[in-house]
Amino acid sequence: PVDAATTAQQLEVLNGLWNAVNDHYVYGDFRGRDWAAIGATYQAMIEAGLSDEAFYRLMGAMINELGDEHSYFQSPTEVAREAEVLARGNDFVGIGALFSPIPPGDTATILSVFPNSPAAEAGLLPHDVLLAVDGGPIRDEAGISRTRGPEGSIVTLTIQRSGTVPHEITISRRRVTGSLPIDFCLILDTRIGYIFLPTFFDESIADQTRAALIAMTADGPLDGLILDNRMNGGGLGSVASAILGLFTSGVQGYFVSRESSDPLDIVGEDIGGSQTVPLIVLVDRDTVSYGEVVSGVLRLAGRAEIIGGPTLGNVEQLRRYDLEDGSRVWLASATFEPIGQAAGIWEDTGIVPDILIPTRWDLFTEAT
């Protein structure tokens, strides 16, 4: 049985969440949902008695009722874990590579390799494909990568690089720490640079991008620069603004909520000619949120041409609402209004490239 004090606290959290959505959700019609009826339904389930674990799952389901595929709920444990990652960076035991599943999910491709990690020492590279772990599935029943495991344990990976036959690599797991690395290089025999931006969630991304620009322009200005946003799922507005500031400046649009219209006002800085270098931005269906906003803004500012596949259109600005028990809801509270266009237009259309070409991550590398 659940005691009355637990139920009372759960109802306080429910009311906080319900009020945040009711007062601040960007879509005043709640996207056709009856928000009052949804609140009453979930209140009845809580009053029937729920464990904390079941309650937090229920709050996540309640936010998902909005159907915007962007807003989400975090339990106090998830809030604390995120704060730790932001404060300390990554800290895990494994091989030191960031993977992205390849549909339907039986295989995965490497997005980034941590410097000085077991993966780096084994010669693994972005775009390599993980086919199997110890001859079996790449994830366990809970969906956790089987490349994780006890420090010092041995794991055998089946890897395939584009254009080659699969081969096995045996690696000893160890602790991996630090910020998620970007990937950058000069394309062979050119003065064209390439930078892969995996996320805007990591606050070190802007400084890493500055360092990449300094390194690539040490011997002179670039003739062009490719910004790869294909796998960029968005993140922090401060990081997105800092990246934009390397290539443009001034008011680039507005975030329009039910209460206000706030300018996206970019402070520019030039590193090795970054404010004028011709840009290509790569996008595709995994370019989301601020990844889409940055890509679209650079084109509207006359700074970039966009190449790749259409994005899905998920550009609401999430704002944080902290609840009574330390849980949190990230709520779509504003939509983006590009200069000279209607608010929310990219939510409807996504970012449509100037040149449509297939850009599947695991089939193309910086060299190709």
For 287-328, the pLDDT digits (tens) are: 999 999 999 999 999 999 999 999 999 999 999 999 999 999
Evaluate whether residue 74 is within a structural domain: no
Q: What is the mean pLDDT of residues 33-43?
A: 98
* Whether residues 202 and 300 fall in one domain: yes
Contact 199, 232 (CB under 8 A): yes
* Whether residues 152 and 187 fall in one domain: no
Q: What is the mean pLDDT of residues 224-245?
A: 96
Contact 158, 108 (CB under 8 A): no
Evaluate whether residue 82 is within a structural domain: no
Percent of the chain residues topping a pLDDT of 90: 87
Is the pLDDT score of 41 beyond 70?
yes
Mean pLDDT of the chain: 94
Give me the pLDDT at residue 103, please: 83
* Whether residues 189 and 333 fall in one domain: yes
The structural domain count of the chain equals 3
Q: What is the pLDDT of residues 125-177, one digit of tens each?
A: 999 999 999 999 999 988 899 999 999 999 999 999 988 899 999 999 999 99
Evaluate whether residue 288 is within a structural domain: yes
Evaluate whether residue 76 is within a structural domain: no
Distances (CA, A) of 186 to 40, 192, 228, 318: 58, 6, 13, 35
Give the domain-ending residue among 67, 83, 108: 67
Q: What is the pLDDT of residues 173-194, one digit of tens each?
A: 999 998 889 999 999 899 999 9
* Whether residues 318 and 357 fall in one domain: yes
* Whether residues 38 and 137 fall in one domain: no
Of 83 and 206, the one with more pLDDT: 206
Is the pLDDT score of 368 beyond 70?
no
Q: What is the mean pLDDT of residues 198-214?
A: 95
* Whether residues 225 and 354 fall in one domain: yes
Give me the pLDDT at residue 242, please: 98
Evaluate whether residue 72 is within a structural domain: no
* Whether residues 230 and 210 fall in one domain: yes
Q: Where in the chain does DSSP place strands (E)?
A: 72-74, 90-94, 97-102, 107-113, 129-133, 154-160, 167-172, 174-178, 183-186, 192-196, 224-228, 250-257, 261-266, 279-283, 304-308, 317-322, 328-338, 355-356
Evaluate whether residue 156 is within a structural domain: yes
Give me the pLDDT at residue 366, please: 59
Residue 367 pLDDT class (50, 70, 90 cuts): low
Q: What is the mean pLDDT of residues 268-277?
A: 98
Range of the domain at 39: 4-67
In DSSP terms, which residues pair with 192 in a beta bridge? 224
Give the domain-ending residue among 153, 178, 203: 178
* Whether residues 63 and 102 fall in one domain: no
Give me the pLDDT at residue 252, please: 97
* Whether residues 106 and 22 fall in one domain: no
